[in-house]
Chain A
Amino acid sequence: MEHESGRVEQERGKDAAGGRGSGIEAEERVKIFGWLVGPGFVLLALGMVFGLSSGDVPSAESPSVSATALVAGPLRESLKDPPMTEIGGIEQRCISCHQLFESLWDGSKPLRQHMDVQIKHGVDGSCYGCHSRENREKLELKGGELVSFTEVARLCGECHGPVLRDWQRGTHGKTLGYWDANLGEVRRLGCTECHDPHSPAYEGIIPLPGPHTLRMGERLNEHGGESNRNPLRYWQENKGHKAESGGSH
């Protein structure tokens, strides 16, 4: 309205200069006109808000992320004490076999048992770098001390000192449960709940789908184009519109 009255002043000045009429009547009319503009806007706004509502049903085609990809928890199951393993469909203790048969393997021949084990770890590829030759339900530290599978961190830490130190502080590894022991169980996962001890380096994994949202910048990689960047992709498809930037995949 301020702007409007400013203009009125201007008009009046011009009229006076032109020597046309008194200007009082004009002012009245402009005022009436101005008074009508305000309610006009309000009516328009009300019409927009209440007159034309179209209430969409809240359903949506979800981006293709399978529910199983989003199950939180340890990546693998680690061995307990005593360690159990499935042989012939039955859960068995290691000693069920190993106290019957003495292990004669000397590292020279390929394995005939435990053939799923691929060793990409350690310095000489030998089982006995970690496993005890005498007691198959234990692991063996460098000094000869036997530890159970639940204490595997002590064994790993013999080579990976800084990582063990970080894990003890909580700066390496994953912690599930609660962030404070006073509130609930703090479950700091052990080495073998993430890493396969026979092949501990992480393999590459398939990433989940990229964004179709606003404010994600330009595509920089070799795939180029805007084709995968359309925040309204599903919305447009649901409404029967063709996605403008061809973003339908």
Chain B
Amino acid sequence: MSHRIYEGHGDPVCETRPGLTRRSFLRRGVGTAGGLAAVAAALSPLRDFDASEMSVAGFLQKHYKEMDAQEMEAALDRIREQVEARYEVRPEIRDIKPMDGVEFVYALNLSRCIGCRKCVHACVAENNQSRDPEIQYIRVIEMPRGTTDVEHGDHHYERATVPDEDHYYMPVQCHQCANPPCVKVCPVEATWSEPDGIVVIDYDWCIGCRYCEAACPYWARRFNFTTPKIPKDKLNPNMSYLSNRPRSQGVMEKCHFCLHRTRQGKMPACLEICPTGSRKFGNVLDPNSEVSQILRTKRVFVLKEQVGTLPRFFYYYDERDPISGYSDEAKGGQG
């Protein structure tokens, strides 16, 4: 815009301003206009920003680790009110702390998983993920037998029934790494590793830069590009601050081992729904827990071991694979 005004006045204008030649002024004007346009374009998603998600108290809130009990209670009150205003449901929300002497580990039996995707949808229901656009924490990958290279996998399999005998199924979700790249890249420390091994996100602290999403080798993190939408009757009112409370536009989210359940001794939702018992969860510091038994007695591997993330999510096999039909005898129903 500005450069046209000067164009109308012609060269004399420039000549009276030594040092600011017409060309340089044009260049600067065009540059500024371009810059403004770029910023406007970058900010345009904010036009859909839902102001009801914002509050001064939320904006001024301290970092999770710096809040004392009173400040946390105030934050929870604010969230209760926001959720009630939005979904007409009074949530049971708490800030549930990790237990002493507990480190969580997940184990998944690839010999048993049939790829039914029940875990995916049970997770969505439990953790208040957006239904529109859809956000899912668990990806079930249909893999050709004989490889663990996920590049050969397919997320979009559609079959009359599963399992398909030429494939096996590998569900992937956040691995809660002991050396988490996502935590290292966060410029504002909105995500960190808790003493029980769960990598959490403070949704009120996240600035939505998506560095962590790029850093995760397991594609475990999800970004809210728009205001997440959940039907009012589908909202799970049993919430905690660091897990399944509703998120707002522009923040990152991911699997947190259902910490609002597991920190109270319960099993994660994906485990409870699994019809095949492929999913195992527990405390690895307890030598008699199911996961400890698996790590001791089963053939276990972690995904992309070479990247050094030290996942707390293990895959294992049975000696004999009931799905592939390891032998003729197996087809007689050794499963």
Contacts and interface: CB of A to CB of B under 8 A. Distances in A.
A83 interface: no
A55 B227 CA distance: 9
A100 B122 CA distance: 48
A200 B43 contact: no
Contact of A180 (B19, B230, B286): B286
A49 to B, nearest CB: 5
Interface stretch (B68-76, B173-181, B197-205, B290-298): B290-298
Contacts of A232: 133, 226
B163 interface: yes
Nearest to B126: A70
A238 B21 CA distance: 53
A56 B229 contact: yes
Contacts of B318: 162, 166, 172
A101 interface: no
Contact of B133 (A75, A203, A231): A231
Interface in B256-295: 262, 264-267, 269, 271-277, 280-283, 286, 289-290, 293-294
Interface residues of B, number: 97
B230 A69 contact: no
Contacts of B334: 160, 163
Contact of B155 (A12, A37, A194, A211): A211
B310 interface: no
Contact of B265 (A48, A121, A179): A179
B281 to A, nearest CB: 6
A130 to B, nearest CB: 13
Interface string A137-178: 000000000000000000000001011001001111111111
B121, B161, B262, B271 interface centre (most CB from chain A within 10 Å): B121
Given A11-B19, A174-B277, A216 B293 contact: no
A235 B19 CA distance: 53
Contact of A234 (B36, B87, B131): B131
B149 interface: no
A69 B118 contact: yes
A108 interface: no
A114 B274 CA distance: 30
B131 A60 contact: yes
A233 B130 CA distance: 13
Interface in A90-128: 120-121
Contact of A49 (B49, B266, B298): B49
A240 interface: no
Given A45-B39, A48-B46, A217-B155, A25 B231 contact: no
A203 to B, nearest CB: 8
Interface in B276-335: 276-277, 280-283, 286, 289-290, 293-294, 297-298, 316, 318-320, 322, 333-335
B135 A56 contact: no
Contacts of A172: 109, 277, 318
9 contacts: A20-B18, A40-B36, A55-B52, A61-B131, A170-B293, A172-B277, A177-B267, A216-B155, A220-B152
Interface of A: 7, 11-12, 14-15, 20-23, 25-27, 29-30, 33, 37, 40-41, 44-45, 48-50, 52-56, 58-63, 65, 69-70, 72-73, 75, 120-121, 160, 162-163, 166, 169-180, 183-184, 189, 194-195, 199-217, 219-221, 223, 228-229, 231-235, 238
